Chain A
Amino acid sequence: MKNGRIAVPSNGKGGLDATRSGHFGHCDVFTFIDVENGEIKKVSTIQNQEHVQGGCMVPVNLLASHNVKALVVGGIGMRPLMGFKQAGIDVYHDSQRTEIKPVVEDLIAGKLHQISDDQVCGGGGGGMNLK
């Protein structure tokens, strides 16, 4: 990824040295990493909104309104994944590492894979449980 804004659901105050939240809907903040010509230019955070049952589209709209182009998750449900796709936000997946910085560096370097529809969380989707 050469240009654009990456979002990572984060624990605590967020930031490049923080850790990724295991459940994006329940994260404390989203860390934004702005990338220009393959380099990190700016890091900022925004507060997540209240999470309620069935409110999967709230973070989709929040991130879309902040011009996010890519999201990194440890796991995601089918409905929010489809929502992000519809909003034009690419969803990348790394369930092993919780450190934000190395995962973002891999994304920028093109080493991270986008999550596929059969890798979504939960029984409904019938896929892997990635939470």
Chain B
Amino acid sequence: MREQKIINILLASRDKTSMAAFKAGLEENQVQTAWAETGSNAIARLTEGNFDLVVTDENLGDMTGLEFIEKVISTKPMVNCAAVSSLLPADFHEASEGLGILMQLPVRPDQEQAEKLLRQLKNILNLTEQAAAD
């Protein structure tokens, strides 16, 4: 039987309470989470660690979530990204085009959002693994 891989996710937000339900939803599904409170701190964590996904809040204090993702993909493009955003989906798509963002999350994402994001992430990880094996 194939061993289930632990998924590592970095959460970047200044406000732990706004992501508490979302974080709990991830951790109920064999996900290991780490926390960073600013963009620069999150970049440092990503450089040190091996993360499958980073989830960023809309504003990290020292940079916006989208500015943070631009920095992530310029150094670690293989890391998947999701972003909290209050923009309308069409506006978010326009603002984030080319950044390859897995999912837009609502402000104060909940457990259901966590499960939806995990399904999408697992799909991507499987496809990426298959492509590398082809």
What residues make up the interface of A, taking CB atoms closer than 8 Å to B?
46, 49-50, 52-62, 64-66, 76-80, 82-83, 85-86, 120-125
A79 touches B102 (CB 8 A): no
Chain B at the A interface: SS class: helix
Give A25's nearest chain B residue, CB to CB.
B100
Stretch in contact with the other chain, from B11-19, B38-46, B125-133: B125-133
| Residue numbers in B under 8 Å from A56 (CB-CB) | 77, 100
B98 touches A77 (CB 8 A): yes
Give B99's nearest chain A residue, CB to CB.
A124
A125's partner among B70, B102, B123, B124 (CB-CB below 8 A) is B70
Min CB–CB distance B46 → chain A (angstroms)? 14
Complexed CA–CA distance, A53 and B73 (Å): 16
| Residue numbers in A under 8 Å from B107 (CB-CB) | none
Decide yes or no: A123 and B124 within 8 Å by CB, A61-B131, A65-B134 being known contacts: no
A120's partner among B82, B98, B103, B132 (CB-CB below 8 A) is B98
| Residue numbers in B under 8 Å from A53 (CB-CB) | 101-103, 120
Decide yes or no: A58 and B124 within 8 Å by CB, A79-B73, A83-B77 being known contacts: yes
A78's partner among B73, B82, B103, B131 (CB-CB below 8 A) is B73
Complexed CA–CA distance, A124 and B95 (Å): 5
What residues make up the interface of B, taking CB atoms closer than 8 Å to A?
66, 69-70, 73-74, 77-78, 80-82, 94-103, 120, 123-124, 127-128, 130-134
B123 touches A52 (CB 8 A): yes
Complexed CA–CA distance, A129 and B123 (Å): 29
| Residue numbers in A under 8 Å from B96 (CB-CB) | 122-124
| Residue numbers in A under 8 Å from B134 (CB-CB) | 46, 62, 65-66
B97's partner among A52, A66, A82, A122 (CB-CB below 8 A) is A122
Decide yes or no: A49 and B127 within 8 Å by CB, A61-B132, A124-B95 being known contacts: yes
Decide yes or no: A124 and B120 within 8 Å by CB, A77-B98, A82-B77 being known contacts: no
Decide yes or no: A54 and B128 within 8 Å by CB, A65-B133, A82-B77 being known contacts: no
| Residue numbers in A under 8 Å from B133 (CB-CB) | 65
Complexed CA–CA distance, A79 and B81 (Å): 10
Complexed CA–CA distance, A66 and B127 (Å): 16
B97 touches A77 (CB 8 A): yes
